Chains A and B, each alone.
Chain A
Amino acid sequence: MPKLIIDDIPVEVAPGTSVLEAARSVGITIPHFCYHPALAIAAACRLCAVKLLDGPVKGIQMSCALPAQDGMVVSTTDPEALRMRQLVIEWLMINHPHDCPVCDEGGECLLQDFTIAGGHSRRRYQGKKRTFQNQYLGETIHHEMNRCIECYRCVRFYQDYAGGTDFGVTGSAGRVYFGRFQEGALESPFSGNLVDICPTGVFTDKTGRFRARYWDYQFAPSVCQHCSVGCNTAPQNFQRETIKIVGRRNDQVNGWFICDRARFDKGYLNDPQRPREARLDGATCGYDVAIDAAAKAIGKFVAQNGAESLAFVGSSRLSLEGMILLAQLARTVDGARLCYFTDGGELTGSAAAARLLNEKNSAYLRDIEKAECIALYALDLMEEGPMLALAVRKAFLAGAQIYLVDGDPIPAREKLPFTFTAVATLDEVPFEGGGRGVVIAGAGKKDADLLDQLASGGAKLVMLQPGPNAMAGGLLSLEFGGQAFSELASAGKIKGVVCFEADLPEGLIVDVEVVACADWRTGAAAAKAPVFLPTTTWVESDGTAINYEGRAQRFQRTRVPGLPLRGLDPKYYGSTADAVAEHPPRVHRKEVPGGAERDAWRVMAQLIERLGGRTIEEPLTGRWSKLKDLDPESEGVRVFNLLQGDPRTDS
């Protein structure tokens, strides 16, 4: 463990740590552009200069490329180092257009921060600036090459880290250009990270440009709800509209980055057509009126048809809190059925994964990255868990063997960023004594015996779930005897259904009465329900999600629910009736327009109370109560030990 002194502070760091990281560990930020912890060292920008006063090396050195060694005495404030950094900044700024007022990066720009920090505040250069032609890079990313300071972060991420081949660096010397061979949309499904990783405004998020500045945003730690990987994000909101979503670091789950679906797929959150008012028999009504009506309808249905012909149906869109209360709600109506899954195959797979995985055999990000042998078991990795493809690539670059098992070929629509050998069965994959081998399979739609067989191999397991919070659905299905709705419905056991954020296909509910429906989007069940209760999405609610590896993560409310203040997109003005209906009311009122949505678990709690159950203030009770104080900024906690001695049984 090298011991060194940085600005009179003694520091001890792990071997191989750079001086820059060593300084950061004691709270000293040395300005830097090209350095990024997730990428290889380039030492291209020359900004992180420090002076070594004593020790094995002396003089001005680049702290990002200098491993900390015993006996080093480092000064980050030495006049010579300060002057060097100031001059470097000045030369990096020579061609920069100084267009901060019209740049979407302004306010969240590393170049602004370090230019000021580096002491360059007055421009001396009077000559002409280098200029470039920008390229069209698709509908999500805007290109503005003149702002470039040649740190190479984008190309190191795009090609080296993410395995993309259609974006890179051309030219030499003063003509270095970062772009594509020809204009066109970036092909990598991770291209959005260019926005985060560029230290200035060369790449900005076209889907949210010029809407607000950094200091206008309302944001909070959140967890992506598109797949079961559970990447950490920070949605940036302005006036009740989610403007941008950026990645948030979690070394246990997603590292620094997120995929493009997590970043750009956000239109549904801001949709003015989202159901926002409680409805009773087609007419809007007060929320509590609707809840009363729902409770009454449930009571009436049970009296007429018996509780066993009523199903409470949720989905993996519910938070853990919602799922727990759904079970309690079903229990309140004694004998009613509980479904977290519509599809039987998804239930079997998720429940099997919940039963089979434990603290020891459940692989997480680092296990995949460090694996020597990885088998992809008949899954579309880019669809089911794109960020894991980058982890597999990391292992691949470190020399791991990658196999694709089963004849089920990976759809060619997304190229995987690594090469693999296709084999017919898992037996052909040479796991050496189970050491550092990982099997990645999709848990949904797989039969339990097959998953059993995968689990018995000794390799660590990744069982990607069929939905964002499906792992919680699997765990709770085991605990409370959850059933698959499609099976109940086709067996004719169900006459009525109460839906909570459930996506029931129209065909399944033809002969079923939808008693009530709570959701944040519309669907077949919502259209059929006499009572509709609007709920909040994950950006508008606090909650907990459990990812594929059994890690519980807390997400926080990032904004209040309600119609975005921005007004309507021109497309809604095609018909006057539409525009009037969607537009926020033009009269004074104290409530947020369209802000009546409630969290699904609170709606359930209110229903439980009205149906004669007890009052619920805290959804996480019993063995789940240990998750009550989960910190949204922590790395999350795996639930296996938490649930030890739990009533999980083979279902």
Chain B
Amino acid sequence: MNQISNLYQKNEKFILGSNNEWLTNLRNKILEKIDDLGPPSKKNEIWKYSNLSHINDTRYEPSNEILKENETLNEENEIDYINGKYHITEKNKKNLNINFKDLGESLIDLKNFFYNENETQLNDFVIDINTIFLSDGLYISTKENKENYLIINYKNNLDYITNYLRNIIKINKNSKLTLVENFNYEKSENNDLNIYNNFILEKDSELEHIIIQNLNLTSRLLYSSHAICETNSKFNQLSCQLGSISAKNRHLSNLIGINSQANHNGIYFGKNKQYIDNKTKVTHKSENCQSNQIYKGILNEESCGVYLSNTLVESQAQKTNGYQLSRGLLLSDKSKLYNKPQLKIYADDVKCSHGSTIGALDNNQLYYLQSRGLSEKDSQKLLIKAFCKDVLKNINDKESLKKIELQIDKWLNKKNDKQYS
């Protein structure tokens, strides 16, 4: 029996949905699979450059603390997960346009999301352990024909805890949601977070999803998202990764309805010995769909980045327009970035392209800026910010952009005493 099975058996009664028969059966099947296949190996493409110590050191140490009622003072469109437990306030409940339900209480309606129907339950180790150790989650849905804004804050004030969270978010017909997820563990250390979000974009709906991850450098993150985009829907995502000693992000979209669109944008910043691993994949399953996967990384000191992008165009997905771009900026000799763009095209009338570059700051650009009176450090900062610009311009939410720019400034200014050469 492997370590994960041991952990599960020891803690089974505390895990969300442990009294649910089909979920227990599913968990047992997954555990058998892990027993058969063993833990992830670098022989598998998606783990090739991964820091497996994080994956192979799976922990289950949830918080037992119960939050006092008055600890969250959020407005109706803002909710918190604190120490791995969601908190819905009276104000949240009064939000008429967004409905929040406990994931555990909604399991009976959500079976499809756990099994492989619509491919929401992916064959992936990270998602498998999320399903096994699920500690909390929400089923969120928007009201049809409405425009909404939702902020989810992930906070911890306890050390050495693990959170396995899952949110299933449904954007109903002709509605629009801007979802901002803030990850900030300022007050705690050595925490592990495994989060899996499912998005269902119904016909004519729109989701702008912004992730601002600024966890401390003792915390580890495994983040997976999967979006299903129906006819005429638009999914626009920005993943901004600044923190965490080891972050593995995987964002996938299935374009199942005609004229649907998925944009995966990302910027990531590495320093010290940070490891930042990103993967995006868009599967075109219908005609006239569009996708963009644009990631940029800025890596300093001994940090390491990985970005795998993938566009899969199925045979029926004619008139597909797919674009991938990965650019990396290495600020030190010891920083590393592995890029791998992939295109798999089975339709014959498509327009797909990809680009990938890795390099240092351009000395001629630095010289030009300095010759106008900007110091070397200020010139470097200006060029790094300019490098991020064409990713950030793809996001409409001005408030989030301001916040991200502020975080980038903080990241750049922390490096004041060290040159980026």
Tell me, yes or no, whether A binds B: no
Residues of B participating in the A interface, judged by any CB pair closer than 8 Å: none
